């Protein structure tokens, strides 16, 4: 496995791979790799000739007061995990190499961001699409892999690829969970023992809401109300939002008669956790 920090070196490597007719699988991450990232790497390994993993904590997607400085980092661990699971190349750029000069052109995201995390994190998805546009141009992947834990991000990446005609296949990968249902996240290390005990209630609440639809409920407001009531009874975390929207359009619906996402974000003392479930009008889970 190779590790490259310079943009030009990665571009040269990619040019060689494309000339050789090799497919490239790309897994963009912010590091501190866990089982969720491992699944992305393994999926990329199965479907491509060459796998590139990027590790870059993108400052543009962190807002004021968010956890940029405390975001967990472990470069040695990340290299070991990447190599053991089939990555061929780690792109490990510095902030200066990704943003050597102040940006002259700023990207704006109009759709799929006025709900869920986009509402409470202004500027976040502008930072996401900016760094991904740069990373896509640098790595020129055949396919790119994203976890459905952040389903809104998947929806925004889907729009980015389609709107700007990137010749890239987006591969959404189901959320990897702990044995008790908690979604794997780099931020889980910040939970206290009590919070860690309560956190699995997030997914339980979402499944409770989905089961209401399985049993015939078609009113989004009732699903949201019942899900919130369930979650409030199971955790002391502060609920940022619970929303039910069409997926991947992320538009409000009056009745559940198409694929939807039921999603939530919960604040704990030192961590903000997100989770979701995507399902059809019958309440059957879908891949998104």
Q: Order of strands across the sheet with 89-91?
A: 2-4, 89-91, 50-55, 24-29, 143-147, 169-173
**Tokens representing 226?**
């019942």
Annotated binding site for ATP: 30-37, 147-150, 176, 184-187
Give Cα 238 to chain centroid, integer Å.
Answer: 21
* φ, ψ for residue 157, nearest 5 deg: -65, -40
Collapsed DSSP state (helix, strand, coil) of residue 143 = strand
Cα–Cα dist 96/167, whole Å: 27
Collapsed DSSP state (helix, strand, coil) of residue 63 = coil
* φ, ψ for residue 249, nearest 5 deg: -65, -25
**From 37, 77, 106, 236, active-site residue:** 37
**Catalytic annotation on 77?**
no
Residues carrying an active site annotation: 37
């Amino acid at each position: 496995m190779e590790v490259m920090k310079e943009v030009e070196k990665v571009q040269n490597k990619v040019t060689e791979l494309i000339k050789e007719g090799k497919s490239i699988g790309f897994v963009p991450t912010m590091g501190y790799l866990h089982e969720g990232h491992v699944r992305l790497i393994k999926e990329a390994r199965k479907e491509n000739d060459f796998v590139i993993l990027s590790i870059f904590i993108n400052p543009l997607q962190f807002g004021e007061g968010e956890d940029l400085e405390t975001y967990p980092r472990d470069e040695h661990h990340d290299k070991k995990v990447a190599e053991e699971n089939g990555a061929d190349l780690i792109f490990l750029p510095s902030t200066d190499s990704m943003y050597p000069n102040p940006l002259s052109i700023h990207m704006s995201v109009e759709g799929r961001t006025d709900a869920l995390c986009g509402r409470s994190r202004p500027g976040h998805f502008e930072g996401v699409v900016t760094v991904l546009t740069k990373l896509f141009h640098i790595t020129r992947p055949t396919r790119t892999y994203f976890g459905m834990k952040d389903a809104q991000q998947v929806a925004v990446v889907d729009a980015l690829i389609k709107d700007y005609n990137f010749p890239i296949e987006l591969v959404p990968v189901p959320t990897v969970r702990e044995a008790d249902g908690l979604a794997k996240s780099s931020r889980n290390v910040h939970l206290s023992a009590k919070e860690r005990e309560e956190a699995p209630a997030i997914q339980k609440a979402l499944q409770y809401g989905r089961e209401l639809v399985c049993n015939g409920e078609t009113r989004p407001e009732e699903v949201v109300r019942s899900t919130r009531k369930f979650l409030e009874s199971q955790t002391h975390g502060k609920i940022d939002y619970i929303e039910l929207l069409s997926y991947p359009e992320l538009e409000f619906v009056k009745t559940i008669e198409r694929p939807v996402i039921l999603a939530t974000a919960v604040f704990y003392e030192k961590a903000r956790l997100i989770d979701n479930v995507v399902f059809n009008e019958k309440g059957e889970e879908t891949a998104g």
